[in-house]
Structure 1
Amino acid sequence: MKLLVDIQGGHKTGYYLDQRDSRLATRRYVADKRVLNCFSYTGGFAVSALMGGCRQVTSVDTSQEALDVARQNVEINGLDLSKAEFVRDDVFKLLRKYRDQGEKFDVIVMDPPKFVENKSQLMGACRGYKDINMLAIQLLNPGGVLLTFSCSGLMTTDLFQKIIADAAIDAGRDVQFIEQFRQAADHPVIATYPEGLYLKGFACRVM
């Protein structure tokens, strides 16, 4: 995989290296599928989806600059640009619009920015995660897969899993947790600082 990276002006190192393993895992779920890539940034998951043989991938972000880089990342990897759509929009609003229009997807990647910076924000973050995952679950075809992540260190894996389960109940759907993710192995966790396990995620099959 080739990638354009803005080391000086980009987020973190210019590319979220901690999601390397999750991007690779995405390829197992996307063959001949319609994919929605939310909070896409520079298109790491979109490129992986195209490499995995997806039928079509829509990447959504509020930053046009990031979407432009995502388009270039598709091009420099020699992938079919006609299978990639880039949408500048607020994910929360767009998911509601898609739901109201009856849009459906086979795979949705939900990789939002950190929703919680301190303990006082945790409850609000829980509501945000629940809302956005409920919307995603509603947009999935039966048998579809939600790949959902939280990069908030204060959000434990158990709490995040409960939020997804509650979101499924509110969406009126059943989900199966079929795979669990964490940050890549080159992002180790110090034993005395459990919050260092900041990135967690699940692959959920939506029934």
Structure 2
Amino acid sequence: MMSYFTLLKTSGWDGYELIDSGEQKRLERYGKYRLIRPDPDAIWRRTDVNEWANADAVFVDDKGNPHWEHGAQMPENWLIKYKTLTLQARLTPFKHTGIFPEQQVNWDFLSSVIANGAKPRTVRYMAKRSLKIALSVASGDTPRNDNLPNVLNLFGYTGAASLVCAAVGAKVTHVDASKPAISWARENQKLSGLLDKPIRWIMDDAIKFVTREVRRGVKYDGIIMDPPVYGHGPGGEVWDFHKSFPELISLCPQVLSPQPLFFIVNAYAISSSALMLKNVLSDYLLDFGGTCEFGEITLEEKIGKRLLSTGIFVRWSFS
């Protein structure tokens, strides 16, 4: 397996841009609205102080009462376009909007791999598959379309990555422990005109779900996961990244197809480097060969062109 360190950089698009950052805050535009949010790592100076004067909403991180302050003209939710997708943004009490723009680089990667990187098949595999379909047709069954890549999105939250995959022809299983998050994701599916796409929405604990998929013999051609530092499953299951993540990763190779397309892990607010993600993933994907990228996920400022790190990642691909 080849591996290398890199920075994934999102420079923004029509629906989003990081305008400026500094003094432990970031100034961003989501659609037509400017937001100021806390960012403890942005300890440098702001590039243009005047740009900050016209914010539509400011997140105030008061202890015990975190909240947004905004005028009457600022809606509680609004729509943002990303290519063919329409996503609903909201002012949440968790200081985010439900849209994570730094993931644009991964969305573009997923679109390319799924749309252009049809599963590499050996002649032997295709011969077996052709025989299987022929026998199925002879028996009167309707053969399943095995050429559609099967993608598993764990901790899928509001569903942008799931919709990106479905829009370019993948079957998607979206798993999250939060019922409100899944409802939000399904609303994004409706807004994006993708109700006819094969997406399964599953509210479950990630480890329990993958364990069941192992028993069922289900296989996926790609896995995406954005695990939190801490969390709880719908049944009260406890997620602690440094204890739970190795257990989850150890299960995943058992649900990967023989020639998978990709495996992506994003992590935020953990006291570890991207080397940790690369080392853990390499433990289980070494025999698959391919290429492993790891590093930081960043946003590029519009004004100062500085890079703001938002998290770490590891991204394995078959090529």
Q: Does 1:183 align with 2:267?
A: no
Find 1:13's aligned residue among 77, 97, 103.
97
RMSD: 2.6
- Equivalent runs, 1:91-106 vs 2, <5 Å: 91-106=206-221
Query: What are structure 1's unaligned runs of at least 5 residues?
Result: 117-123, 191-195
Counterpart Cα distance in 2 of 1:204 and 1:127: 26
Give the Cα separation in 2 of the matches to 1:127 and 1:60. Answer: 20
> How does the TM-score come out when normalised to structure 1?
0.79
What amino acid is aligned across from residue 210 of structure 2 in structure 1?
Answer: L
Show CA shifts across 1:87-128 (max 9, x none): 000011100010011111111111111359xxxxxxx74443
Q: Which residue of 2 aligns with 1:161?
A: 278
On the 8 A contact 2:266/2:311 being kept in 1, the answer is no
* TM-score between both structures, scaled by the size of structure 2: 0.53
Structure 1 contact 108–147 (Cα < 8 Å) conserved: yes
| TM superposition shift of 1:201 | 2.4
Q: Pairwise mapping of residues 4-153 of structure 1 onto structure 2 (< 5 A)?
A: 4-9=88-93, 12-31=96-115, 32-54=148-170, 56-114=171-229, 125-144=241-260, 145-153=262-270
Q: Which runs of 4+ in 1 moved over 6 A?
A: none
Bigger mean CA offset, 43-52 vs 85-94: 43-52
Contact between 2:274 and 2:296, CA under 8 Å: does it hold in 1?
no
- Greater share of residues in strand: 2
Write out per-residue CA displacement over residues 32-82 of structure 1, whole angstroms, 9 at most, x where no aligned residue.
31111110101010111022221x111100111111111111111112434
Q: What's the secondary structure of 1:37's corresponding residue?
A: strand
Report if the CA contact (8 A) 2:275-2:294 is conserved.
no
Residue type of the alignment partner of 2:176: D
2: CA distance, partners of 1:60 / 1:69: 13
SS of the counterpart of 1:105?
A: coil
Greater per-residue helix proportion:
1
Inter-partner Cα distance in structure 1 for 2:192 and 2:198: 13
Distance in 2 separating the partners of 1:48 and 1:85: 14
Aligned pair count? 190
Identity of aligned residues (%): 22
